[in-house]
């Protein structure tokens, strides 16, 4: 994410929302549902304000992760969303128009 703030929400069975994380600029988000079409999403993303996102299509990022084990490990480690993404890696992504 380049600009803005996004909350990651987890919905309870009692229809309550719990903020499980908040993303700031330069942080990244991923989960298995982004890579597997039938996987359920475990959180809902909700923007607090105007945001600028960089998106990588599955067919672009998955081969990269499969070929670069270190990148895959970094994404799957606790706290991996912090500081992920650089200007160089953004060049292969798609801007949301910001």
Whether 84 has a pLDDT exceeding 70, the answer reads no
Angstrom distance (rounded) from CA 36 to CA 92: 21
Residue 1 lies in a domain: no
Overall domain count for the chain: 1
User: Which residues, 6+ apart, have CB-to-CB distance to 22 below 8 Å?
Assistant: 5, 6, 7, 8
Find the length of the chain: 98
For the ranges 8-12, 77-81, 83-87, the maximum mean pLDDT occurs at: 8-12
Confidence band, pLDDT 50/70/90 cuts, at residue 76: low
* Cα separation, 40 vs 9, whole angstroms: 14
Asked whether residue 47 is domain-assigned, the answer is yes
Q: For residue 84, with 0-12 CB atoms within 10 Å meaning exposed, 13-18 middle and 19 or more buried, which class applies? A: middle
Of 63, 68, 64, 61, nearest in space to 31 by CA: 61
Decide if 15 is inside a domain: yes
Range of the domain at 27: 6-95
Question: CA-CA distance, 14 to 2, in Å (whole number)?
Answer: 34
19-71: pLDDT as tens digits: 999 999 988 887 777 777 788 888 888 999 999 988 888 888 888 888 887 87
pLDDT surpassing 90 at residue 74: no
DSSP 32: G
């Amino acid at each position: 994410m380049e600009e803005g703030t996004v909350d990651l929400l987890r919905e309870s069975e009692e229809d309550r929302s719990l903020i499980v994380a908040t993303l700031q600029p330069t942080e990244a988000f991923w989960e298995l549902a982004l890579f597997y079409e039938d996987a359920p999403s475990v959180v809902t993303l909700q923007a607090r304000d105007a945001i600028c996102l960089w998106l990588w299509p599955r067919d672009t990022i998955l081969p990269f992760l499969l070929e670069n084990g270190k990148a895959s490990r970094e994404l799957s480690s606790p706290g991996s969303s912090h500081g992920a993404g650089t200007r160089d890696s953004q060049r292969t992504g798609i801007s949301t128009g910001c």
